[in-house]
Every structure is written in C-alpha cells, then in structure tokens.
Amino acid sequence: MNTVSRALHADLVSVIGDGNVHDAGLLGGRDPGFHPDNLSADLAVYPGNTAEVAAVVGLCARHDIPIVPQGGLTGLSGGAASKPENLIVGLRRMNRIEALDAAAATVIVEAGATLQSVEEVANRHGLSVGIDIGARGSATIGGMIATNAGGMEAFRNGSMRARLLGLEVVTATGAILNDMTEVPKCNEGYDLKHLFCGAEGTLGIITRAVLSLKPMTASNTTLMIAVDDAKAALAITRSAMMLPGLEVLQAEIMWRNYAHTVAAEIGLSQVFDFADAPAYLLLELNGDENALEPLFVHEAIRDAIMARNERERAAFWRIREESFIVDRVVPNCRWYDISVPLGRIDETVRGIEARLKALDPDMGIWVMGHLADGNLHYTIGNGQPVAEAHQAVIADAVYGGLKANGSAFSAEHGIGTEKRGSLAKHTNPEKLRLMHAIKQALDPQGIMNPGKVL
Ligand SMILES: Cc1cc2nc3c(=O)[nH]c(=O)nc-3n(C[C@H](O)[C@H](O)[C@H](O)COP(=O)(O)OP(=O)(O)OC[C@H]3O[C@@H](n4cnc5c(N)ncnc54)[C@H](O)[C@@H]3O)c2cc1C
C-alpha cells in the first residue's frame, strides 16, 4: 500500500466499514474482467448507498485522490482500467431494484444492478428494459449508462440514453445531483443527465437511475439467411419491417470470415452447410406463418435456414455473440467499433479492407455487427503483437474517411483509454474544446476517472 492509500484507508473504513475497503492483496486475486488493468489500483471501496458514495468522493476530493468508477468490468475500451494510485469505487453492492411501476412502465434502480436482474423483474410484468447486450449477466445499469450502451435492440428502442428518464449522480466534489424524474417530458433547463450518459465516469459517479421500459417482446422465428452483402441484408430486413403482422426484433450481420471462423472454433460449422455466402443475416422475428410467407421469396435471399428448436436458435446466437473466440484463433487482435450510415456499409467495409490489406496483406479481418443501425464490430490482427506506434497506423486505416461519409469511429463501446488518440484526431476541434470546458467545469481537480476519454 502506498503512502496516499495508507492515509486514506482509515478514513474510508470509518465511512463504509472495514469489509468494504479492499487492498491490492484482495484485488490481485480477483478476475479483472475485460481489461487486465481493471484491478491494478492499490485500493477499492464498495459503498452500499448514495450517501456512502458521496462521503467517499468527498474524501477523495480533500486528499486529491483520482477515482475510477466500476460496474461489471465488461467494458471494452479500458474505461474502468486503474493504476496503483487510483481508488476504485465499485458499485456492485448497490444492486437494488427499488420500484417498478407497471402502469407507467418505469423502473427505479441502483447503478450496480445488472441488466439481466432488471430484465428479469421487468419480464414478470410483461415489460423489458428494451436493450440487450451479450454481457447482460455482468454489465450494470450504471456502466451501461456511463458508456451509453447500445446492443441488439438499439435500432428500435434507441441506446441507453433513450431509456433514461432520471438520474442520480455523485459529482466530483462529493455533492449529490438528484434528477430522478420519472416522466418523459421534462424541460427544466439544461438536461444534465445526458452529460453523464456516455461520459464513462469522467464527470461523476452514477448511483441511481429511472428507466423507461418497453413492452416485452417474444420471438417465434429465428432465421439465418445467406446474402451477397449488407445491401441485400438490409433490403430483406426492411421488407420484413414493412410486412403486416411481422415484427423485426433483432437484425444482425456476420461476414463470411467471422461467421465461419467462430463456428469452426466452437464446433458449429454445420450451421453453414446450407450455404457458403459472402455474408449472413441473423433475423429474430415475431409473426405468424402467413405474415412470414412473402419474406421467404425475397429476391435478395440466396438461401436460408430456420431454427427448428431452442437448441438451434442458441447455436445461431452463439456464433454471433462469441466474438472473443477470434482472439483464441489468432492472438493479439485489436477490436474496433464503428457506426456507418446504412446505405454506405458495403463501400465502407470494402474501403477498410483495402486500406488494411495495403498495410499488411496477411492482416486478418473479422466483421459482424448490429445491421439495422449500421454498427459494425471489427476484429483485426495477424497474430503478432502490435507496437504502440503501429496501433495508430491501423486505427487510421480503419477510421480513414469515416467522418467524411457521416459515420462514427466509436459507436457503442466508448473511448476509454484505447481510443483517446483517435478522439483527439477525428473529432471536430470545437466539439473537443467544449468537451474539455465541460470536464473543467464539472471536475476542476481532475479526479474523476483521469486519463479516460479526453
Ligand atoms: C460479451 C460482451 C458483449 C458486449 N456487447 C455489447 C453490446 O452489444 N453493446 C454495447 O454497447 N456494449 C457491449 N459490450 C460492452 C459492455 O458490456 C458495455 O460497455 C457495458 O455498458 C459496460 O458495463 P459495466 O457495468 O461492465 O461497466 P464497466 O466495464 O465496469 O465500466 C465501463 C465504463 O463505465 C464507467 N462506469 C461504470 N459504472 C459507473 C457508474 N456507476 N458511474 C459512472 N461511471 C461508471 C467506468 O468507469 C468505465 O469507464 C459487451 C461486452 C462484452 C464483454
């Protein structure tokens, strides 16, 4: 334990109790989640309520200690990574679902509740959070708000920001900002809650939230459709959206290299025995047979299979969701998360491939994503570790031209530590200046998750 930690330790114990202050010894024996440095801090605290979070932040402000807020540690951009001199403030004990109003379709939750736990409670009332991500069992509502998580239902329900009615945040001085409105219409000056949504813990610690719920949906048809490209996949998806009596619940795309690599690695290659195609569309639908019939004859379908039971459905989804398997096949890969206007997906995919292959003809490229909102996830690598200087060259090859065609170089995983350089490079200078001004105004000491985003 370093000197600063020793000075702070006794104060923290008096605020939240010995058992909730963990030192490096305890942290070192724990799974760090999706970034190796998530638990590299010398100290972590796990408060039990908002008042304790406020007291902890107040102490940190007084001692000038940098704080790293943490939820489920499933973030993919290094936003929760910590250094020995940081204090981790983990929200996992604050996991209560305080109240659900079924008539109003709202739920009040503490920030450490996992998506799955809130979804299960909502489902009992015929409702849903309206957001689904692969990390649902561990990702917390606080972390999802902090990263403005998107996922597979964002094309119809929006990202986390659209689900948010009210928010409670402990600001960098240890004050409590209570903006827990439960109504969709609230024009009471600047809508500050949206500043904290997507700020990745750099402006304050989210402690509670009011979420707007959606009616629960049930899928009765899962299709794996072989297609030529994203244009074809979109044409099929759009037709399905327009067909009376048919609801498109999820529309995901996987390009051939991704689909075949993951399927082979997890022993599901037989799924693609029906067609060897440049890309595959995974559609989750709700509708009766009559509604589905016109879709089956869509000209853009090369071939298609329907899951005949839950086991087959799960197999389709494992191929889509187990994207981290690629790293097992080819180590040292890097991940990218971009968003592209729907009509420009194919040209963007071709452009990125050409730029990467020009850098290195042996570069492996695996692409899949949330088709219906144009969010593509790239895994890129040739098996060799990538030197830091070269990482920027690869990032430029992926991001080149994106801004000019209306795309976003960072879609749903956040900036964290990994995309800070790219944010500085690809963001409008005035936007960047305003972001720095907001950070300075809300956290003048710079203690909230320093070294992330900006
Ligand atoms: C298998 C898998 C699938 C995924 N799929 C998707 C997907 O489809 N869509 C998507 O958007 N993301 C996805 N993710 C990424 C990840 O799940 C999300 O970013 C999620 O929102 C992170 O939540 P968390 O609780 O794990 O946050 P953490 O990883 O703990 O933290 C993430 C960031 O939020 C900050 N933070 C956490 N809690 C708080 C808080 N209470 N107050 C302030 N700041 C806080 C942290 O400081 C950090 O900057 C996936 C991840 C995995 C591993």
Topology of 3-90 in CATH? 3.30.43
Asked if 165 and 144 touch (Cβ cutoff 8 Å), the reply is no
**Nearest Cα residue to 153 out of 101, 215, 102, 99:** 215
- Per CATH, the architecture of 325-413 is what? 2-Layer Sandwich (3.30)
Q: In the Cβ-directed half-sphere of 47, how many Cα atoms lie within 13 Å?
A: 24
Based on the number of CB atoms within 10 Å of its own CB, is 440 exposed (0-12), middle (13-18) or buried (19 or more)?
A: exposed
CA distance 139 to 95: 12
Nearest CA, atom 18, ligand 1: 75
Asked if 249 and 295 touch (Cβ cutoff 8 Å), the reply is no
Average pLDDT, the chain: 96
Residue spans in the chain of domains classed CATH 3.30.43.10: 3-90
Residue spans in the chain of domains classed CATH 3.30.465.10: 97-215
Confidence of residue 2 (pLDDT cuts 50, 70, 90): low
**What are the CA-CA distances from residue 295 to residues 243, 276, 287, 446 (Å)?**
8, 21, 11, 55
pLDDT digits (tens, 9 = 90+) for 268-294: 999 999 999 999 999 999 998 899 999
Confidence of residue 76 (pLDDT cuts 50, 70, 90): very high
Mutate to test the pocket of ligand 1, among 110, 147, 412 (most ligand atoms within 8 A of CB): 147
Residue 449 CA, ligand 1 centroid: distance in Å: 14
Is the Cβ atom of 449 under 6 angstroms away from ligand 1?
A: yes
Average pLDDT value for residue range 258-276: 98
Is the Cβ atom of 369 under 6 angstroms away from ligand 1?
A: no
Encoded tokens for 401: 């031209």
Question: CATH number of the domain at 97-215, please?
Answer: 3.30.465.10
Q: What pLDDT sits at residue 307? A: 97
Is the Cβ atom of 113 under 6 angstroms away from ligand 1?
A: no
Task: Kindly tell me if the per-residue pLDDT of 4 is higher than 80.
Answer: no
Average pLDDT value for residue range 225-239: 98
CA distance 138 to 311: 23
Q: What pLDDT sits at residue 142? A: 98
DSSP string, 373-399: GTEEEEEEE-SS---HHHHHHHHHHHH
Nearest CA, atom 6, ligand 1: 133
Confidence of residue 94 (pLDDT cuts 50, 70, 90): very high
Average pLDDT value for residue range 67-91: 98
Residue spans in the chain of domains classed CATH 3.30.70.2740: 325-413
Residue spans in the chain of domains classed CATH 3.30.70.2190: 221-321
- Identity of the amino acid at 403: K
Confidence of residue 225 (pLDDT cuts 50, 70, 90): very high
Is the Cβ atom of 411 under 6 angstroms away from ligand 1?
A: no
Confidence of residue 401 (pLDDT cuts 50, 70, 90): confident
Nearest CA, atom 36, ligand 1: 143
Is the Cβ atom of 73 under 6 angstroms away from ligand 1?
A: yes
Centre a 10 Å sphere on the Cβ of residue 304 and count the other Cβ atoms it contains.
Answer: 19
Pinpoint the alpha helices (H) of 103-192. Answer: 115-123, 141-146, 154-157, 160-163
The class that CATH gives domain 221-321 is alpha beta
Task: Kindly tell me if the per-residue pLDDT of 354 is higher than 70.
Answer: yes
Centre a 10 Å sphere on the Cβ of residue 168 and count the other Cβ atoms it contains.
Answer: 23
Helix (H, G, I), strand (E, B) or coil at 14: helix
**What are the CA-CA distances from residue 359 to residues 168, 354, 394, 398, 421 (Å)?**
47, 9, 8, 11, 20
